[in-house]
Amino acid sequence: MTSSYQRFRQVADHEEEGQGYRVKIEVRNPRILILAPHGGNIEPMTAEIAEAIAGMDYSFYSFEGLKVEGNNVLHIESHLFDEPHALKAVEKADVVVTVHGQIDHRDGFVMVGGLNDRLRLEIKRQLEEAGFQTRPPTEGLLGTDPQNICNRGKSRQGVQLEVSRKIRDLLRNDKGQLRIFSDAVRRAIQQDLKEDRKLDVRIERATVLDAKEILDLQKMAYRSEAEIYNDFNIPPLIQTLEEIEKDFKNQIFLKALMNEKIIGSVKAYLKVETCYIGRLIVHPDFQNQRIGTKLMNETEKIFNLCQRFELFTGDRSEKNIYLYQKLGYKIFKKAQITDLTTIVYLEKEIKSNF
C-alpha cells in the first residue's frame, strides 16, 4: 500500500499494533490534552515535544509509527484522524493542542494554526519571547477545518503547531531548548485559562466529607514534586483514603472553592504553641494565582495565638521555598531523608506585642 491510510480501521486491518504502530496515552487532567497524531517515525520528535508540553499534569496522547521504513502510510490526515482513544480523550478536553512536523530542514520556525485565536496568538507570543521564530501557516496547514482533531474538543476550537524539521532536530539534541519550548507553550495555556474564567475563590473549613476530593487533588498536585525527585512513592501520592480521614480527627483542613469545586487545600495542627502546617496544594490549572497564599493566610488567622509556625518541603522544590519565604518563613534546618532527598524546615516566629 503506497498511499496513506484514510481511517484508523485501515491501519488496524493492515498493521500489527506494537510492530507497525503504537498508541500512547496518559490521562492526567482531562480538560487539557496535548496530542501528537503523527508521532514516532511518521513525523519524528513530535511525540516527544507533545509529551514535554504535557509534563506531569496535562493529558498526553500520541499515535506513533514504528516501521523501519514506509511510515508515511500511517499518516492519517488530521481532519480524518479517528483513532478511538484519541477521539475519547478529545471529547473530554476543553483545550486541545496538537503537535505536527513541518518538513523544512533549512529554516527553524513554528507555524501556529487552529481555530482558537486567543490561545493561538498567546502561544505565538510566548514562543517568540522564548526565542523561537514563528510564521503564518501555509495553505493546508492552517488547522481551521472544524473536523481537524485539534478542533474537536468541547470548545470546538484548538491549536495546531507545525514545527519545522530544523527546530525538531534542535529540540532533540538540546534538552534545555526543549524545556524552554515546552514551557513557553505551557505558559500560553495557563494565560489562556486565566483569561477564560473569573476567579472567584473562597476559603472554608473542610470536613471529612471532603476527604476523597482533597486526596484526589493532592495526588494530582504532587505529581510535579515526584517528577523533581524522581520518586513516585512519596507519602502524598501513596496516602490512602482511610489515612486522610484519620487526619481529620486531629488536624484542621481548609479548602479553596471555586464554583463549589475544591481547587486547593492545606492542613494544620497546634502542639506546644507551634502550629505545624502541611500539604499545601493547589490544582495545577490554578497555580500562581495567590490561592496558596490565601490558604496560608487563613491558616495563620485561625492559629493566631500560637508563638510560631513550622512547615517543611524538599530542598529542590524552589517554587514552594520561594512562596514560603515571601510569606515570611525562614529556613532553620535541613535533614537528609534519602540519598536523593533533603528536607528543609522553615519557621515563622510571631513577635509578641507585650
Sign of CA dihedral 162, 165, 167, 171: positive
The larger pLDDT score, comparing residue 28 to residue 338, is at 28
Fold type of domain 8-195: Aminopeptidase (3.40.630)
Does the pLDDT of residue 353 top 50, yes or no? no
Q: What is the pLDDT of residues 18-41, one digit of tens each?
A: 999 999 999 998 899 999 999 999
Which part of the chain has CATH 3.40.630.30?
A: 202-349
Strands 202-205 and 159-164: unpaired
Helices (H), the chain: 8-14, 46-54, 84-91, 117-129, 165-173, 175-195, 211-221, 223-229, 235-238, 241-247, 291-302, 318-326
From 2-6, 245-249, 294-298, 310-314, the region with the lowest mean pLDDT:
2-6
Compute how many other C-beta atoms are within 10 angstroms of the C-beta atom of residue 77. Answer: 16
**Mean of the per-residue pLDDT values of the chain:** 92
pTM, 2 dp = 0.59
The larger pLDDT score, comparing residue 94 to residue 251, is at 251
Fold type of domain 202-349: Aminopeptidase (3.40.630)
Which part of the chain has CATH 3.40.630.100?
A: 8-195
Is the Cβ–Cβ distance between 309 and 290 less than 8 Å?
Answer: no
Quick one: residue 184, left, alpha or beta (phi over 0 = left, psi -120 to 50 = alpha)? alpha
pLDDT confidence of 340, banded at 50, 70, 90? confident
DSSP 14-70: HS-BTTTEEEEEE-S-TTEEEEEEEEETTSTTHHHHHHHHHTTTSEEEEEEE--SS-
Q: What is the pLDDT of residues 270-282, one digit of tens each?
A: 999 999 999 999 9
Is the Cβ–Cβ distance between 47 and 38 less than 8 Å?
Answer: no
Query: HSE-up of 136 (CA within 13 Å, CB side)?
Result: 2
Q: How much is the pLDDT for 352?
A: 55
Q: What is the mean pLDDT of residues 40-67?
A: 97
Q: What is the C-alpha end-to-end distance of the chain, expressed in Å? A: 86
Q: How much is the pLDDT for 198?
A: 54
Beta bridge partners of 256: 203, 264
Does the pLDDT of residue 4 top 50, yes or no? yes
Of the candidates 309, 311, 281, the one whose C-alpha atom is nearest the C-alpha of residue 295 is: 281
The DSSP secondary-structure symbol of 4 reads: P
